Amino acid sequence: MRDMRAFFLAGGRRLSYVDFGGPGVPLLAFHGHYNEASAFAPLAETLAPRWRVIALDQRGHGESDRASGYERDDYVADIEAFHRHLGLGPAFVLGHSLGGVNAYQYAARHPGRVTALIVEDIGAVVDCDWSFTERLVPSAPSRQELVSALGATAPYLACSFRQFDHGWGYSFDLEHTVRSQKALNGDHWSDWLQVTCPTLLVRGIRSDELAADHARDMTARHAGRTRLVEFPAGHVVHHDAPAEFAEAVSSFLSESSASRAE
């Protein structure tokens, strides 16, 4: 499998994405805060060759340009531009955390463009605590010192580490991340309930972001369209339980693909 980084313009801003390649059916993937497209590399490798993961560096993340705004409409417009740039018809879509809200809002606001949806560990109501971001060490003289300063958090941010002239930091700005997190907060039930495509909701049992009761409520109020699966993981299920997550995603995509073909 050979991945390829590419760029396109959306609203005058340059956005980057990684096409992990292969002959498979495209799966558009959207990461969470502190991450970038490369976070999906292990998943892409596991899903290949049947599924071809194409992941966006969302605005303010990875190799994509920083932005003046991080509102809900901004992110959804980026996904629309990304989908249009790829020249694909209705597509399978996956999103984690920030990317999960972006994904289900895109599916709700552009019915018919999303064949099936996977939402990883994020709710219809979001109450993000950005104090964690404000406490992150902004940089360190070396990669190892950055890892040491982050402690147990380091593996979750590692794909976004970058070396700069002044030392090691991230492919996202802390100030911009806080702005994005503040804009993510809110009640998004109206969008969630407007999603019409088959949906898989994935929750980490140890998650501090998506409570069990809320996940069950999301499933119940989306009766017949959403399936809930839970794994022994924290908020980043694809990192904590990669094999189980990949198997759930693969099975759901296969079922959705088969149903579509009938």
* Three-class secondary structure of residue 229 per DSSP: strand
CB 244 within 8 A of CB 231: yes
- Domain residue limits, the chain: 4-125+172-261
pLDDT digits (tens, 9 = 90+) for 47-81: 999 999 999 999 999 999 999 999 999 999 999 99
Residue 48: what pLDDT?
96
Residue 148: what pLDDT?
98
Could you tell me the two tokens for 76?
A: 């959804």
CB 218 within 8 A of CB 226: yes
Residue 258: what pLDDT?
79
151 band by pLDDT with thresholds 50, 70 and 90: very high
259 band by pLDDT with thresholds 50, 70 and 90: confident
Per-residue pLDDT at 1 exceeds 60: no
Residue 2: what pLDDT?
64
Query: So what's the architecture of 4-125+172-261 in CATH?
Result: 3-Layer(aba) Sandwich (3.40)
Q: What average pLDDT does this structure show over 241-245? A: 98
pLDDT digits (tens, 9 = 90+) for 104-150: 999 999 999 999 999 999 999 999 999 999 999 999 999 999 999 99
Per-residue pLDDT at 157 exceeds 80: yes
Could you tell me the two tokens for 58?
A: 């969302």
Residue 3: what pLDDT?
72
User: Cα(209)–Cα(126) distance, rounded to whole angstroms?
Assistant: 8
Residue 187: what pLDDT?
98
Residue 257: what pLDDT?
85
224 band by pLDDT with thresholds 50, 70 and 90: confident
Residue 237: what pLDDT?
98
